[in-house]
Amino acid sequence: MSENKGKFLGIIGGMGAEAGAVLYQRLIKLTPVEVDQDHIETLIYSNTSIPDRTKGILKQGPSSYPPLLESAKLLERNKVDLMILACVTSHYYIEDLRKEIKCRILSAVEETVEQIQLRAPSAKKVGILATTGTVKTEQFQKALLRAGITPLVLPDEIQEKYVMQALYAPDGIKVGYQQPARDKMLLSLNWFILNGADAAISGCSEFPLLFGQDDCLVPLIDAMDALMRKTIFICTGKKALETER
């Protein structure tokens, strides 16, 4: 890393591959720059061999933790200063990773709650749109309760029929089909509005491929956007742009 640069960033991607690529593209578009050299020096490891996070967490498949740890160690060997995970569900393992890895690892869950307090300070009830793995491990629920906010989650049947099918069905986002997946996700999002949510969390790195704030009647806090904003501030000392270029 050159001496005139800021922090050297490491990204663990590949969960899925497109979501990791889009995260990096959005990071570029949110970083305030005047010349190429102002961008964050970044090492991305798109490790597509990491097993499905939800299946691993729910004991329906192999654990994602060993390859996540190896990915983090690879980045650490390359002397990154800061590390982020391009998958919200994988944050289930973040405390274990923090025990093993010396450099700082940011949490999308922690940064999301901070963004809620900034953008929707009067919110009392917040809907959590996330994978079943994230919902079942209560990552966002616990963080919201610590902040004095009531979490709202989808009924199991809606969670599985719409959220998980939007991701994993034959016409889902993981195989590249956006419109059917988008339709399912908007139905899920509307459930929160109808049930009194003052704000909602977009809690998966693949959700921004399908919908955004324009599709939501209450403040929508994108977990990966929150993560990127803190990343940009730490790496450059500057606030992220309000909107992508």
| Residues 6 or more apart whose Cβ sits within 8 Å of residue 33 | 39
Label residue 225 exposed, middle or buried (CB < 10 Å: 0-12, 13-18, 19+): buried
pLDDT at 238: 95
**Catalytic annotation on 103?**
no
Q: List, in sequence order, the alpha helices (H) in the chain.
A: 17-30, 53-57, 65-77, 94-100, 108-119, 132-136, 139-146, 156-158, 165-168, 179-194, 223-236
- How does pLDDT run across 144-162, given as a tens digit for each residue? 999 999 999 999 999 999 9
Task: Give domain limits for the chain.
Answer: 9-108+226-236, 109-224
- How does pLDDT run across 165-188, given as a tens digit for each residue? 999 988 888 888 889 999 999 999
- How does pLDDT run across 79-118, given as a tens digit for each residue? 999 999 999 999 999 999 999 999 999 999 999 999 999 9
Q: Mapping DSSP to helix (H, G, I), strand (E, B) and coil, where does residue 179 land?
A: helix
Q: Does domain 9-108+226-236 have CATH number 1.10.1740.10?
A: no
pLDDT of 3 higher than 50: no
**Catalytic annotation on 204?**
yes
What is the DSSP-derived secondary structure letter of residue 147?
T
Looking at 103, 204, 216, 235, which residue is catalytic? 204
Q: Tell me whether the CATH fold assigned to 9-108+226-236 matches the one assigned to 109-224.
A: yes
What's the pTM? Answer: 0.89
Provide the pLDDT confidence category of residue 2 given band limits of 50, 70 and 90: very low
Provide the pLDDT confidence category of residue 4 given band limits of 50, 70 and 90: very low
pLDDT of 1 higher than 70: no
- How does pLDDT run across 33-62, given as a tens digit for each residue? 999 999 999 999 999 999 999 999 999 999
pLDDT at 187: 94
- How does pLDDT run across 182-212, given as a tens digit for each residue? 999 999 999 999 999 999 999 998 898 899 9
For domain 109-224, give the fold: Rossmann fold (3.40.50)
